[in-house]
């Protein structure tokens, strides 16, 4: 009898233990962009002095940090919120981002939402990266593909062992999703679903040919339609991986575990808050990306304020409200592998529901002795990174010019970027000769000028090909076309929200000889007050004016609407990218050089030693070129 009682008690205890809530560790990050090497230093917030911010990131340290978190709980999943490729440094981009995929395979990424940059080279190339195989150029394997440093053998590319997910991207020809809508992982008999979501606005920010034949459906509506299907499979624990995001409300100190203002904007809720506000109550966690911001809208959130040098930290339970008004945890891990989000999901096995979420954003700190030791003990990923860096170094290290001051991609109040002005000038030089297009002006989209711009450790600084590629990594080609004066005015008006379908403010970077003024308070399609074009020869160093300034727009009116001008943009813009649909009406279209080649030719032609360095303050560059008034 005693044995029966003991056996019964043991069975009861085991049943009770089996029914007890358990935790699953979810490790999330986003917007890696092929940053195999460290992107530099980073602090937990802006109150940390620059000298005290540690070096962060790098694929080998991401691998060590992920491994440390996985060791804390056998129930774990490593997930991403998109843009793991595209706009990558040369060490990955030169090899078609195969190095980034191989690194993620070794790190152990399992599910990843498709971001907008995954479409930079089109859906066919995305499928190749998923499934493997060499990149073909003119029908033959490209010599920069299939290096195989992280694949099965040299001369091969295995493809992604993780699954890209995109529930809302549908092929018009088949009516099916381009890639799987969700992935499922089982823990202690309980299934957890991870739904992948691409931002709905992708077609307006990538080259149209990259998304041809695809439809991008509403994010929240897509998730909600999947909930009954998942529940039919017995799934109650649901995580959304979405490539869309927000920013902490200014002013704040950008604490990586903050959620200041619940990510609201001056005009209301952010894009990510709008999505969450329409989500079914079944969704337990949202891991987001796209904005390259760090935030943690969860029970671990802190408001960090600095007033008169005194820093206060106020914890507060929070999230973003869903359709039912419940606060849902929403996280983002900055970008480039600087931060990992460490999330513990507590699941009740009886109901299969997530009953608690605890999230913490953690720096991938390259000075952490535990991580340093881990990398030394297992250098597998480091060997991969070093191998590709060695293959890229002959090209990356070539000096192309010298600069006397930083040229960041940060814009002033009017929207002008030092790096953007340089790029626009290079594109004008490449297309100014009559035989190459006869352009009188060039316009560069701001999103194509990548961080940090053209910067160095000390000045004068010898810019390298690798530096240039980091700032301009897309491999676009130049396009010269004819626009009327009215179209020029419309193009500049289309920089602003609400004009001709524009959904985001995108101030174009303009070339030497272009100058215009815009009003911040004016109505959409009526913001451009004046525009002048001064004939300027940028094929000589320094550039020189060759004629008097011509008024194209005065007091908001186009003086000669039908007069025509030859202008240069990149092929992304020429096909309506970033919402600049005015350019679709251009005529006399002529293709040109690659943007990176134009930039290198411009710098090496006039600003490479022994020539004088490039000085952004030189009078011949006629900056500022853009003026903002109230």
pLDDT-derived band at 16 (thresholds 50, 70, 90) equals very low
Alpha-carbon gap, residue 205 to 504, rounded angstroms? 10
Neighbouring CB atoms inside 10 A of 136's CB total 11
Looking at residue 309, what is its pLDDT? 79
SS (H, E, C) 453-487: CECCCCCCEEEEHHHHHHHCCCCCEEEEEEEEHHH
pLDDT-derived band at 365 (thresholds 50, 70, 90) equals very high
Q: What percent of the chain has pLDDT over 90?
A: 87
In the DSSP assignment, the letter for residue 75 is S
Are 361 and 256 in contact, with CB atoms under 8 Å apart? yes
Q: Is the per-residue pLDDT at 623 higher than 90? A: yes
Alpha-carbon gap, residue 67 to 58, rounded angstroms? 14
**pTM score of the predicted model:** 0.86
**pLDDT per residue as tens digits for the range 108-159:** 999 999 999 999 999 999 999 999 999 999 899 999 999 999 999 999 999 9
Least Cα distance to 411 among 477, 530, 495 occurs for 495
Q: Is the per-residue pLDDT at 601 higher than 50? A: yes
Are 323 and 359 in contact, with CB atoms under 8 Å apart? no
Taking only Cα atoms into account, the Rg of the chain, rounded to an integer number of angstroms, comes to: 26
Looking at residue 9, what is its pLDDT? 45
Least Cα distance to 284 among 377, 357, 374, 223 occurs for 357
Burial of 336 (0-12, 13-18, 19+ CB in 10 A): buried
**pLDDT per residue as tens digits for the range 165-213:** 999 999 999 999 999 999 999 999 999 999 999 999 998 788 778 899 9
Residue with token string 């711009």: 453
| Average confidence (pLDDT) over 56-85 | 98
Alpha-carbon gap, residue 31 to 85, rounded angstroms? 8
Alpha-carbon gap, residue 199 to 181, rounded angstroms? 14
| Average confidence (pLDDT) over 465-469 | 94
CA angle 120/583/170 to nearest 5° reads: 40
Strands annotated E in 62-126: 76-80, 111-113
Of the candidate ranges 47-56, 264-273, 309-318, 573-582, the one whose mean pLDDT is the lowest: 309-318
**pLDDT per residue as tens digits for the range 336-349:** 999 999 999 999 99
Alpha-carbon gap, residue 386 to 403, rounded angstroms? 28
Half-sphere exposure of 468 (CA within 13 A, CB side): 28
Q: Is the per-residue pLDDT at 628 higher than 70? A: yes
Q: How far is CA 414 from CA 51, 253, 450, 495, 628, in A?
A: 30, 24, 18, 12, 5
Q: Is the per-residue pLDDT at 547 higher than 90? A: yes
Instruction: Report the mean per-residue pLDDT for the chain.
Output: 94
Of the candidate ranges 11-25, 207-221, 290-304, the one whose mean pLDDT is the lowest: 11-25
Q: Is the per-residue pLDDT at 7 higher than 60? A: no
In the DSSP assignment, the letter for residue 408 is -
More confident residue, 564 or 572: 564
In the DSSP assignment, the letter for residue 326 is -
**Long-range pairs of 323-328 with CB within 8 A, sequence gap ≥ 24:** 323/277, 323/278, 323/279, 323/280, 323/281, 324/281, 326/281, 328/276, 328/279, 328/283, 328/284, 328/285, 328/286
**Chain centre distance of CA 545:** 38
Alpha-carbon gap, residue 508 to 353, rounded angstroms? 48
Are 303 and 314 in contact, with CB atoms under 8 Å apart? yes
């Amino acid at each position: 009898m005693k044995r029966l009682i003991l056996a019964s008690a043991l069975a009861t205890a085991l049943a009770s233990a089996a029914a007890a809530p358990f935790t699953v560790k979810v490790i999330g990050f986003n917007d890696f962009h092929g940053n195999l090497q460290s992107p530099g230093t980073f602090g937990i917030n802006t109150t940390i002095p620059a000298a005290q911010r540690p070096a962060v990131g790098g694929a080998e340290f991401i691998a060590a940090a992920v491994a440390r978190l996985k060791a804390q709980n056998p129930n774990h999943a490593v997930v991403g919120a998109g843009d793991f490729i595209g706009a990558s440094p040369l060490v990955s981009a030169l090899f078609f981002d195969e190095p980034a995929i191989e690194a993620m395979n070794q790190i152990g990424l399992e599910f990843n939402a498709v971001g907008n940059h995954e479409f930079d080279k089109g859906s066919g190339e995305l499928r190749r990266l998923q499934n493997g195989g060499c990149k073909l150029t003119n029908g033959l394997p490209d010599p920069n593909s299939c290096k195989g440093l992280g694949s099965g053998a040299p001369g091969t590319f295995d493809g992604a062992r993780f699954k890209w997910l995109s529930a809302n991207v549908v092929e018009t020809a088949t009516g099916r999703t381009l890639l799987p809508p969700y992935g499922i992982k089982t823990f202690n008999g309980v299934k957890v679903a991870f739904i992948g979501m691409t931002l709905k606005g992708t077609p307006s920010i990538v080259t149209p040919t990259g998304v041809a034949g695809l439809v991008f459906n509403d994010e929240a509506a897509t998730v909600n339609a999947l909930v009954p299907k998942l529940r039919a499979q017995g799934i109650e624990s649901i995580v959304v991986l979405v490539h869309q995001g927000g920013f902490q409300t200014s002013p704040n100190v950008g604490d990586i575990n903050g959620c200041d203002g619940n990510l609201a904007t001056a005009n209301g809720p952010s894009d990510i808050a709008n999505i969450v506000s329409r989500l079914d109550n079944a969704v337990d966690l949202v891991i987001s990306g796209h904005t390259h911001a760090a935030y943690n809208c969860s029970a671990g959130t802190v408001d960090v304020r600095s007033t008169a040098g005194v820093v206060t930290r106020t914890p507060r339970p929070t999230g973003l409200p869903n359709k039912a008004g419940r606060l849902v945890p929403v996280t983002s891990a900055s970008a480039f592998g600087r931060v990992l989000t460490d999330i513990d999901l507590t699941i009740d096995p009886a109901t299969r529901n997530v009953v608690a979420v605890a999230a913490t954003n953690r720096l991938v700190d390259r000075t952490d002795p535990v991580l340093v030791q881990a990398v030394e003990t297992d250098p597998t990923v480091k060997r991969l990174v070093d191998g590709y860096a060695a293959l890229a170094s002959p090209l990356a290290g070539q000096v192309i010019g010298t600069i006397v001051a930083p040229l960041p991609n940060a814009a002033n109040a009017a929207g002008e970027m030092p790096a953007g002005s340089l790029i626009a000038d290079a594109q004008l030089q490449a297309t100014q000769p009559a035989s190459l297009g006869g352009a009188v002006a060039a316009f560069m989209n701001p999103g194509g000028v990548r961080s940090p711009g053209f910067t160095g450790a000390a000045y004068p600084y010898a810019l390298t090909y690798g530096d240039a590629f980091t700032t301009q990594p897309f491999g676009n080609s130049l396009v010269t076309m004819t626009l009327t004066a009215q179209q020029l005015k419309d193009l500049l008006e289309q920089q602003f929200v609400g004009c001709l379908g524009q959904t985001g403010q995108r101030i174009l970077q303009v070339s030497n000889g272009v100058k215009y003024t815009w009003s911040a308070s004016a109505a959409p399609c009526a913001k451009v007050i004046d525009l002048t074009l001064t004939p300027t020869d940028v094929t000589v160093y320094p550039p020189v004016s060759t004629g008097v300034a011509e008024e194209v727009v005065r007091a908001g009116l186009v003086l000669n609407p039908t007069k025509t001008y030859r202008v240069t943009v990149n092929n992304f813009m020429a096909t309506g990218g970033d919402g600049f649909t005015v350019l679709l009406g251009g005529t006399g279209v002529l293709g040109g050089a690659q943007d990176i080649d134009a930039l290198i030719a411009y710098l090496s032609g006039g600003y490479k030693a022994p020539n004088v360095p490039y000085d952004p303050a030189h009078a011949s560059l006629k900056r500022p070129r853009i003026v903002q008034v109230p």
